[in-house]
């Protein structure tokens, strides 16, 4: 007779324990990992799939990565063909009822940067640039509110906590944008050379033109193409050249040798940064060094 009440008590304890487990979240790239950690604090388990020193365009998951995805309650991906090698696994997760969201899918079409790419595989020669996380206003107005809404729908008990943390982050992003816009105003309309168009959204936000050395993924310009860029640099009002940690520096190195334009190195994923604000500020400092001729 006593076994039934005891069994009910055990079941209630197990049910409470199950419902009190924190959400398990996997972010495909480091910027979203940093944002999620800041919003959720210790209330969720946030894991990172593609390390910030790796190139997400060509990342191929290991068995341990697939296990990590399978164990997640929520997967935050960028989309816009950034994680192309992950697409089959993410699609399979969705088909099995897992919550997989793509940040790029929430943005209005008019915000997306259309890249013209010479590619035999792309008949249209166009694709949307995926590096949306480097625009602080896209983050403050779209990405952070979207992540809060998604988290709150899965964990309504912590919705107020998520919202409060996000409000602080949004304030910091807007202040960063004001600071950056004020600095960049005198360079509006000028051109920068970049190894890869990762910072298209960032420079577009502040009216600076961008000329990428590498349009596609894993390609290398020919010597002839590099020399055309040398002529371009010499004939245009180019105020800086930037290599990038996750991409080849060969072409930028040649341009540096052939021209007198100041140069630096940017980091789109945050190799050694501990917050999204630190990532943005670190790149702004590097840009200022080049633009100010330091």
pLDDT of residue 247: 79
How far CA 251 is from CA of 157, 208, 210, 223, 238, in Å, comes to 52, 21, 16, 9, 16
Question: Where is pLDDT greater, at 158 or 213?
Answer: 158
Question: In this structure, what token pair is assigned to residue 169?
Answer: 């982050």
Residue 127 φ then ψ, to 5°: -160, 160
**Mean pLDDT in residue range 62-68:** 95
What are the structural domain ranges in the chain?
185-291
The architecture CATH gives domain 185-291:
3-Layer(aba) Sandwich (3.40)
Class of residue 249 by CB neighbours under 10 A (exposed 0-12, middle 13-18, buried 19+): middle
pLDDT tens digit sequence for 68-109: 999 999 999 999 999 999 999 999 999 999 999 999 999 999
How does residue 228 score in pLDDT terms, banded at 50, 70 and 90? confident
Question: Where is pLDDT greater, at 260 or 69?
Answer: 69
**Alpha helix ranges (H) inside 155-222:** 159-184, 200-205
pLDDT of residue 5: 47
How far CA 24 is from CA of 37, 68, 191, 289, in Å, comes to 12, 9, 43, 40
**Mean pLDDT, the chain, integer:** 88
pLDDT tens digit sequence for 232-251: 888 788 999 999 988 778 88
């Amino acid at each position: 007779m006593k076994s039934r009440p005891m069994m009910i008590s055990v079941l209630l304890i197990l049910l409470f324990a199950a419902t009190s487990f924190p959400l398990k979240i996997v972010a495909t790239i480091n910027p979203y990992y940093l944002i999620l950690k800041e919003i959720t604090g210790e209330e969720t388990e946030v894991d990172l799939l593609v390390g910030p020193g790796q190139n997400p365009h060509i990342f191929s998951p290991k068995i341990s990565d697939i296990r990590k995805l399978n164990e997640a309650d929520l997967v935050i991906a960028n989309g816009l063909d950034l994680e192309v090698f992950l697409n089959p696994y993410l699609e399979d997760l969705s088909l099995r009822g897992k919550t997989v969201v793509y940040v790029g899918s929430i943005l209005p079409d008019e915000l997306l940067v259309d890249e013209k790419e010479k590619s035999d595989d792309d008949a249209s020669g166009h694709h949307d640039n995926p590096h949306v996380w480097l625009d602080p206003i896209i983050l403050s107005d779209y990405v952070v509110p979207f992540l809060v809404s998604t988290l709150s729908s899965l964990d309504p008990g912590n919705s107020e906590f998520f919202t409060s943390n996000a409000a602080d982050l949004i304030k910091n992003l807007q202040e960063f944008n004001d600071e950056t816009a004020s600095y960049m105003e005198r360079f509006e309309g000028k051109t920068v050379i970049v190894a890869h168009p990762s910072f298209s959204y960032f420079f577009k936000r502040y009216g600076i033109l961008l000329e990428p050395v590498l349009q596609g993924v894993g390609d290398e310009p020919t010597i002839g193409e590099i020399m055309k860029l040398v002529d371009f640099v010499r004939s245009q009002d180019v105020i800086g050249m930037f290599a990038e940690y996750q991409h080849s520096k060969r072409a930028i190195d040649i341009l540096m040798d052939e021209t007198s334009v100041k140069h630096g190195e940017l980091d789109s994923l945050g190799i050694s940064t501990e917050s999204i604000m630190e990532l943005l500020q670190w790149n702004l400092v590097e840009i200022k060094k080049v633009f100010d001729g330091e």
